[in-house]
Structures are given as C-alpha cells and as structure tokens.
Structure 1
C-alpha cells in the first residue's frame, strides 16, 4: 500500500490534509484530517479527481476574495462532498458572514467531525459564544480537537473561567499537550501570568511549544527576567529551543537588556543551525544588539543575514532610531527603498520617529508622500506617527488633518492628537476632540487625563482642570498617578493658586517626588513667590541634591528680585556640589542640517550677517517703542550690558539666521531647550510683525506661534 499526501497552496484558508491509500489501483480510501480529526469514506479515482478540481476552483475564487462567486460555483456542484462544505464554512467565518455559514452547515447531509469543528471555530472567530457552545453540545462525537478548539476560542474572547471549567472537564486521557499549551497561551493572553506558570508546572509533559509559549507569555506581560530563567530551564532540561523559542528569548534579553544572556542565545542559534537563513532570528538579533546599544554588532548581524526581508531592514532602522542615530536610520530607510524592499507600517513608523528626532519636517513630508502612495495614511500606527511628526515639527493643523483621516481611531490615536493640541496651546481644540472621543465611545485612559490637564495648564482653564481631575478620580475612570498630581499642581501654579497647589502636594496619597515640587517651584518663578519657592526648593534638594533645574529656578527668582547676595550664594553652592547649569541653546533645521546657537554665540559661519540682521531688528524694535525688560537679564551688571545680553539670546540669533536663510514669507521654526524668557517673547511678537512672517518657537514648555504681533499662547505660558 502506497501512502502520500496533498495540501492546497492557499495562503488564507485551511485545507484538509488528504491521505490516500491505493487499493487494487482502483479504489481510494481517503481521510480528511484537520487539527488531528478524521473521517473516512470510499470514493472512486474519478470522484477523487473531481473533488480535487472543485477545491482548486473554490480556492481560486476565495484567494481572489470573490466569496459570492465561490458560492455560486459551489451551488452548481451536484451533491458536494463534505470537504467542499468545510471550505465554504471557513470562508464565510473568515469574512464574518456567520449566518450564511450556519445556514450552509445545516444543509450538510453527512457532517463529519471536521465540519463540526470548523463551524465551532467559525462561531468563536465571529464572537458568537452561545452558538459555539450549542454546537459543541450537539456534536455526536467529540475529539480532543473539538475540546481544544472551544477552550482556545473562549480564552481568545476573554471568557477565562468557562474555558478553565471546560479544560478540567476533559477526559484526562484526551487532555494532550496541545490542550495544555492552549490553556497556557490563553492565560498569558489574558494577563493571568501566575495561573499560566502554575499550569505550566503541573503539565505532565512539555514540548518545545510549551516552553516557548511560557517564555513569550512572561516577556509580553512585563517579566522578561523570569522569561530568561524559563529559557535557561528549558535548555537545562534537554529541550533545545526552536527558532520561535530563540526569538522569544532574544526578545526578553532585548527588553531588560541582558547582553551576556543574549550573546549566549546567539551562540545557541549558531549551534542549532545556520541562523543567517532564518529571517526572524536575524531580525531578533539585530533588535537585541540595538537594544543593548551595540549598533556595530547589530550591523554585523544584519550584514551576515542571508534573508534580508522587510522585518530585518525595519529592525536595523528602528535600532538606529533607538540609539538616537536618526540620520543613519533615514539612510537605512532610503537604501531599503533603493534595493526594492517595500516598507511596512513599522518601517514607516520608525522612519517618521527619526524625522521627529531630527525635527526635520521636510524629510517627514517626503515620507508622508510615500505613505500616501502606498495607501497607509489611514492606518492607526502610521497615521499616529504622522500626527506626532507634524505636532513636534510645529504644524498642529496638519497633525489634526492627518488624524481626521485615520479610519480606526484607538485611544492611542486620540491621546496623540489631544497631547499635540495641548503642546501648541490649543486648549479648546483638545477639549473638543475629547468630547468627540467620548461620543465615539472610546474609553479614556491615564494619558488622556494628562493631555487634558496639560491643555488646561497651557490655556489657563483652571475650572475645567479641576472638573477633569475630580471627575476622573471620583468616577475611577483611571487610577490617579503622581504624574496626574504633578500636572494638576502645574495648572494651579500657573493660574496663581500657589497655596492651593502646595496644599494639594501635601495631601497627595503618595509621597511627592522632585517632578511635583519642580512644577510648584516653576510656578513660583512665574508669580515671584519666594516663600513657597524656598520651601519647594528645599524639598527638592533633600531628594535630589544635584538637581540643576531647582538651583537655576531659585537663582533666577532671586535675580529677578535683585537679591544678588542670594544669587551668589546659590551659584557658589552649585560650584561646590559640581552642579552644572544647562546652557540655553536654540536651533533650527534647514535642508536636513541642524544649526545650533548659544547666547551671544559668534561661531556660526554667517556670524557677521546674523549680527547685522540683529542690529537692523533692534532699530526696528525701538521704532515701535520696544523697551527691554531688564528683570530677565539675570546678572548684576550695568543697564547697557543687560540690554545687550537680552538682544543676543539664542532664540534671537536663530531667528536672525532663519530670516537670512529662508524664502521671504515662509514660516521660521525654532526649537529651544529652555523656557523662552518674557523679554524675548515680547520682542518676537514684534519681530513677526516687522518681517511679516509666522515665527514658531518651541521651548521646554510648549509651542509659541507668533504672527501679526500676537502669540498663540495669549501671553500665558
């Protein structure tokens, strides 16, 4: 007797496995087996060939996504074989046309166990648990596959308790390793990692899938350290990892990161075979070495890999971005396109993130054009990355426009656009978007609240902030964290409610950290309240004696009050403790090149022209009645020196360079690492009016859009 098998080449639909036994060269006894179940019937050679032909035609229609045509052809078949019914059941369920699948299932004259299992799986795929359970109870004969299919489906839908009961109701003889693996996988997928570990240790026998499933589950649930322990135990028990197990181990090693352990896994991959031909191991190694800040090793692995698919290219691209090598990342993206590798959503997301890192709008627009050509702009991941890119580069209107085009908006998408509007001071936009989010029944989370409080803080909406903070906390929509309290302290402080802000800090359910006290100290600087400022600063110095921001804020507050002795004392203390003040710098990016400026900087190649431009601006400012606000010159020097120091702040140098280097009428976008001072803010409003341009300045707090003598912040920042 000769036995052979035939499997359909369909990429989308499960094809029954055919085992044909030749008897007397005329009669075939053939078994349709899916997931281990079988039914046997005797058909002639001619009948078998006809069924095979019918399957080929059905798969042709289904692979070309013409389900209705497939059904029309199926209806023309006289007395279709049960395997043909099963193919149609798969197709209907995959397309969420469950009612038609059930109707067709009821029409099958002789149902086999495969058709029953297929129908149960289809119901679970469409979320119909009741019908799936009803069909399971009606089955004349159940196999271990029937039980496992229902258990796995219930777990995927989050019905864990019912799946547990069903699992333990199985006959212990039928409860094979696949059933145990399904249960462990389901526990991990529902975040019940302790239950998964308990079951894992109870397993009578484990295969490599069991170990890999447990390692992946621990890693995905945030316990990568324990995942590596399980990986070590797997090898110690004599079970050599499969390629999937190696990928899971490398993923865990990348997240910790654990360089030594990852290198050992790399060695295991070499021992097990030539990893260079396995695209997933290659990509995982690139990600691992990148996460461990070993970009040379990552590049070496990438160079040795034989199968450089989009996953491997994206791993290298993402690795460069993770290591703040954004120019190199974008070069990888360009080379990837040149060699004909088509980027996927992850590729575009990483490339756009690098554009954000460089604050390079022009490159971002080029990538956006490629996204549009590939029809990916409406996807959640790529769309969200575009929203972030436009927001961080100063174009919030474009960010909102992209957001509107996203088809399925997740809570991440909503949070991204709300936070973007908040950063630009468009508080009312942020609140309008939040209301729309609620109307579309998207549940807010902790990041949503942070974005709303930030929007209120930058727009002076104190009562709104109080309502949000109270509502989210009382209704328990989110668990209030220290970040939320810091945001609320910032709102109160900016609005001048310093006593209420301090009282909130003292009444917090958790101990305030330096971030909370810094928010209060910053507000004291704005409202010149030395008493509260000194108390806040002392709290910070107890927790972080080397916190330069606290020293600088307190020193500036003393300086603005002309208390030069205290200023000198703080500077002496900073020097004694080795605390270095971060120098104020501003920059702008033109044609992919970043131009940095420090205050009174004369190192730029266009230095002479820049200062000539500043002198011209100074004359024009005086003609409009501008008088420098000397309280922002934080040094005890003569009046003329103070005015000169203010005139050469880094943001003004960057603006002058922008005026010289960009087309007349275009927007100038300047980034600054510190908060823009009040005098520069007043001056830039007038400069924007003088040159008839929009000037965008992003400081450490927010974006300022200067146009027609006004700023988008309404002089509130």
Structure 2
C-alpha cells in the first residue's frame, strides 16, 4: 500500500485486512458456542499458547503445542498465524499442510499470512486449492493484489466474486485509491449497494490525496447528510483536507463539532488538529490544543515538532524535541525525521549529531526512515562522508534511501560515487524515478562529464514509466553549456517537446557568462525576461558578462534599466553556524561585533596569499573603478568575511563550513583554495549550485562549477 500511507488506518478496521490478528482467531476458536465440549484444561492450554504467541515466543508456544496429543484446528490456526507474524512462513506452511482437518478459517489465515510475509503467489496457489471459498477468501486476495500493485488482477477477482459484502467493495475502493485511480474508485463507490463509514472515509481520503480536496470536503458533507456518523479516522482525514487547502474557517467549524462529540482528547484527533493549525499558520492554536490535552503521547509531541517545522520555526521545533526527551517521552521514527529535517534547514550539524546519537541509543539509528533523514541532514550540512557511511550500514533501503545518497553525492561533486551507487541500485533491481535521473545528470553537470550526461539522458528517454520533465532538460542544457557547447545547447532548447521556462534560459545564460559568449547570452536573456520580466537574474548575469569583457558602458546600461524598472539585485550573503548561532555577513559588512578581528585575519591572509603568488582578478569586482579599489572590494566579499570569522572562532585544524546564497565568484574560489592550504584546514562552502570541498589548495569541483 505504497502511495498513500494515511489510508492504511482504514483497511485495518475492515475484515479484508491482510494483517495477522491472533486475538480474533483466538476469540473465534476458543469461545465458539458450537464447540460446547471444550474443557477448562483445553482452554488453559490454549490460553498459554496464545500468551506465548502474543509475546512472540514461538518456541515456547510450539513446545506447549507439541504436548497436546490431538490439537484441534483452532490451535493449528493460532500457531500458523503466530509463525506468519514473525515471518517464519516455511514453518507456517509445514504446519498448515500437516493439519488433519482444515476449515475455511485456517485456509483464510494461511493466505493472509502469506500475503503479510510477501508471498503473494503462494497465497494465490492456496486460494486455487481451497475446496470452499467465502467472501473473506476473495477479499483477502483482493487486498493482497492491492498490496503488491496488481490492480488489474484485483479488479478481475472482484468482478468474479459470486457475492460481495461491504468489506469487499471497500477493499477494491481502497485498492484504486492507493494507486491514484481515484475516478475508478469513485465510480465503484457510487455503485455500491450499501456503504459504511469505512467506504465514505476511504473515498474522502482518496480524493484529497489526489488533489481533489474540494470534492473530498463535499463528499464529507454528503456523508453527514446521509446520517453516517464520522469516526476519529474520518475527522482526522477531513482536517487534513482542510489543512491542504488552508481552509481555516472550515477546519475551525470541524473542531467545534469534534468538541461537541467529545473527541477532543483522542490523541489521534489532537495531533491532526495540531498539524492543521500549523499548516494554516496558527501555531499558537496548535500549542493550545497540545496544552489542553492531558494525554500527551509521542504522536502529539511529534505533531508539535512537525507543526513548528511547518511554521518555519525550526529552532522551536528542536526545543520541543528536547522538551519531549526531558519529560521521558521516547521519540518514534516520525519524530526523529521531523527533528532532523529542522536540523537540515538550520544547517545545524552539531544538533543533528546529538539527535543521531539519541536515535542510535533507542535502536532507531538504522531504521529506514530515520536513516534516510540522517543521510539528507549530513549531506545538507556539508558532511556527505557520514551520509554515505549510514547508507552503507542500512539493513533495509527504499527508493528514498538510494535517491538521498545519490543526490548528496551529486551536490558534493562525488560523481563517480554517484554512478557506482546507481549501478548497485540497478543490481538490487530497484527501479529509478525522475529524482534519480535529475541527480545523475546533476552529477554529470558538476563534473562536466558531457558523454556520461548524454548517456544518462538517452537512458532516461528510453526508460519506461518515467516522463521527462523540465528539470531533466535543464540539467542537459547545463551539461552542454558547461562543456562549451553553447550553440548545441541553444538548439537543444529550441527542439524541446515541452515549453522551456525561464530557468532553462537562465541556465544557458550562466554558461555564456562562463565562456564569455555575449551573442548567445543576449538572446538567452531576452527569452528569460519574456517569461519572467521581474526576475533580476538575467540582468545580473548579462551585466557581469559585460563587466568581464570590460564592456562597462553595456554593463552600466543594464544596471540603469534594472533601476528604472525597480528590479533589485539579491544581495550576496554568507553565514557560519557555530554552537547553534548563525553568523551572517554581507559584502563589505562592518556590523559584526568581531569585525576588527575578522579584518585583521583577512589582512594577514592577504599577505600570505601574495607570498604564494596570488594576483586578484579585477573582472570579478564588476565595477568600473580603479584596480586598487577592486582589490579592496574583492577582499571583503561575504564568503571571505565568513571564512575570516570561522578561522578566529574555531579550533585550529577543524573543518570550517560556510553557506552562501549566491554562486561563489571566481576570484573568491581561487582565494579559498589557497586559504585551505595556508591554514591547513578543510573549508566546505555551499553556494547556490553545489558544495565545494577545499583541501590543500584544491577544490572538489575541479574548477567546474
């Protein structure tokens, strides 16, 4: 049930569930009134076996089972369900085929167990062998086909059912909704002879999760009018729908109704309310819901951590996470994921490491969801090596795991590592998606690997099930442009089967700036401005290109047009996050409390740079002023101020991490390479395009950025 996880709560309440429910089996078998000859001794043994199975002590349960001379079908069925619960399917099947008598419950339980453990074909074989089938048998198979994405087979089985109860209809609707076929689900829903609350709730959720939120809310109103009373699951899904379209007033009305029905203390409802208010930018109301519920559990704490993240208050999200730990609530996978996401946004590597340590202590460090978030956090904070280590240690991986590490490698200039991991992904029979190919093409772009880029683009074009998007075309334009194939890149854009956006033309314009081609740059800028007249980037890139070519009149003309149109250039900013505090710098900034010490450090570095033969490149000053003034301007670019601060504020020999909102200028790039050699430190700089790892006078980008 891969695509829409929130729907899973619905199927668990239905008789078509493929989950193994020992309690149900035990109750049906042990206290069946038609078996009136059951003795207290038998009940006692059954209770002992059930107790062991419930606590997953299969060996103890089996020993107790073996002591019974003639176990009845109920005990066999309980043992089979117990083995399936812990994925010991071979032993479950052996016991099933040893049963002296099998009834329909034992057949259905064995099929459910096979589906639960991932053996759909065996379940199908059992279904075909069944002497008598009930509606539960058919519904179990439909749920199994749904779980493994075999929608047409589920549809075929549904159409062949000799009789259908509401659970069977619900199972097929759920199947369609789970894979985005919401129109098919809706048609089925309308044709149902009778509907229960699960039917309505499943359909409402399916509509909302495929972007038809207005229709979902209308269906909820129809449900209310038809006299069906919503459950807590229904309210949670409708609140989520309100949050998705920021329908604050509608959600408040729903909250009022929830209070009238007495659902306000339900932790599931409360957590959804917290998220609803947070998405609607009413975080104070989220906090109020949290504080008014005395039954705060991990779900509610997680909702509050997530809520602050949704409100972009990531510092407070981490503060709530700390409070949660301090009061003794143990985080779950989702809590760690939300907290690590906040660390990623804040680039708070130290805090991320602390959270990583806590996850390891409670055994969730290699959980697939937590590990995926850790890979992303380490990568975004400039530490791809630890991200790769986590990936290599993971016992279970999903597509997000593979994509996260490939994305990280691409951003950090580890192209060959990205390709190797992609090869491992293919060998593991994991199908790539659009994100995988964007990452691979980005890796080719950042390392100027033209032929490798062509190879991946052709592979993408011929890959079934993946549709080329603008991001893929933008990557290919970048690869061609960085490789100096400007004419080919321009022709590539003109032949695109989908309309290019401004980003495509800006990508070509950026390449023209690198290769100093004013002719193609002018055309690219014109197209970009037609698509986005208020964007400053075309003006800046074109002005910088003219400045690099010493065409000061043209550069001044571009700046004058910008001023007349009121278009403002985004200022360059660089920052260092140190001990939880962010220290930000603008070019020429003198406002920082340590600015005198920073300037002293930079002056010392300037002396060392000249000893190594460094000569400033005045073209990057981009102003028609004297060379001496240009040199001073270059010396106080924001990234150099941030590096100066980092050098005086951190331990010698430690890695220095600097973030920048714009692309690092060519002169600063040359200087930082030399600084890394002078101070014998690794300096990691993330700009708007990628991460640069400066070590001993070299950069990981190979000067291709």
- Cα distance in 2, alignment partners of residues 151 and 435 from structure 1: 35
2:25 corresponds to which residue? 16
Which of residues 250, 270, 292 is equivalent to 2:239? 250
- Cα distance in 1, alignment partners of residues 124 and 659 from structure 2: 60
Deviates more, 1:497-506 or 1:614-623: 614-623
2:683 corresponds to which residue? 695
| 1:366 and 2:360 aligned | no
Which of residues 341, 359, 366 is equivalent to 1:353? 341
- Cα distance in 2, alignment partners of residues 427 and 131 from structure 1: 43
| 1:76 and 2:67 aligned | yes
- Cα distance in 2, alignment partners of residues 376 and 188 from structure 1: 31
Specify which structure has the bigger relative contact order, considering alpha-carbon pairs within 8 angstroms and separated by 6 or more residues: 2
- Cα distance in 2, alignment partners of residues 711 and 657 from structure 1: 21
- Cα distance in 2, alignment partners of residues 232 and 578 from structure 1: 48
Evaluate the alpha carbon distance shift between residue 106 and residue 190 of structure 1 in structure 2; reply closer, same or farther with a 3 A threshold.
same
Offset at residue 629 of structure 1 (A): 0.3
Q: SS in structure 2 opposite 1:14?
A: helix
Matches within 5 A, 1:174-573: 175-275=164-264, 277-476=265-464, 478-573=466-561
Task: Describe the superposition over 1:49-74 as per-residue Cα deviations: whole angstroms up to 9, x where unpaired.
Answer: 22321122112322332223322221
Task: Describe the superposition over 1:556-596 as per-residue Cα deviations: whole angstroms up to 9, x where unpaired.
Answer: 11121222222222222222222111000110011100000
Which of residues 102, 108, 116 is equivalent to 1:117? 108
Offset at residue 169 of structure 1 (A): 3.6
- Cα distance in 1, alignment partners of residues 162 and 612 from structure 2: 90
- Cα distance in 2, alignment partners of residues 127 and 195 from structure 1: 26
Task: Describe the superposition over 1:353-376 as per-residue Cα deviations: whole angstroms up to 9, x where unpaired.
Answer: 111111111111111111111222
CA contact (8 A) 1:51 1:81 kept: no
CA contact (8 A) 1:98 1:126 kept: yes
Task: Describe the superposition over 1:321-340 as per-residue Cα deviations: whole angstroms up to 9, x where unpaired.
Answer: 12221110100000000111
| 1:108 and 2:117 aligned | no
Where do 5+ consecutive residues of structure 1 fail to align? Answer: 1-9, 21-29, 33-38
- Cα distance in 2, alignment partners of residues 449 and 130 from structure 1: 32
TM-score by length of 1: 0.92
- Cα distance in 2, alignment partners of residues 433 and 135 from structure 1: 39
Q: SS in structure 2 opposite 1:15?
A: helix
User: CA RMSD, aligned part only?
Assistant: 2.1
Offset at residue 301 of structure 1 (A): 1.4
- Cα distance in 2, alignment partners of residues 297 and 570 from structure 1: 49
CA contact (8 A) 1:215 1:228 kept: yes
Offset at residue 136 of structure 1 (A): 4.1
Q: SS in structure 2 opposite 1:669?
A: strand
Offset at residue 617 of structure 1 (A): 1.3
Task: Describe the superposition over 1:90-128 as per-residue Cα deviations: whole angstroms up to 9, x where unpaired.
Answer: 112323333433332344344333223222323333454
Q: SS in structure 1 opposite 2:35?
A: strand
- Cα distance in 1, alignment partners of residues 638 and 150 from structure 2: 59
- Cα distance in 2, alignment partners of residues 565 and 411 from structure 1: 52
- Cα distance in 2, alignment partners of residues 139 and 713 from structure 1: 63
Offset at residue 465 of structure 1 (A): 0.5
Task: Describe the superposition over 1:629-681 as per-residue Cα deviations: whole angstroms up to 9, x where unpaired.
Answer: 00001111112111110011111111111111111111111111111111111
Task: Describe the superposition over 1:115-160 as per-residue Cα deviations: whole angstroms up to 9, x where unpaired.
Answer: 2322232333345455545544555554433333333333333333
- Cα distance in 2, alignment partners of residues 141 and 31 from structure 1: 24
CA contact (8 A) 1:388 1:399 kept: yes
- Cα distance in 2, alignment partners of residues 439 and 190 from structure 1: 26
- Cα distance in 1, alignment partners of residues 110 and 579 from structure 2: 59
CA contact (8 A) 1:286 1:299 kept: yes
CA contact (8 A) 2:572 2:662 kept: yes
- Cα distance in 2, alignment partners of residues 614 and 163 from structure 1: 69
Q: SS in structure 2 opposite 1:336?
A: helix
| 1:167 and 2:158 aligned | yes
Where do 5+ consecutive residues of structure 2 fail to align? Answer: 1-18
Offset at residue 296 of structure 1 (A): 1.4
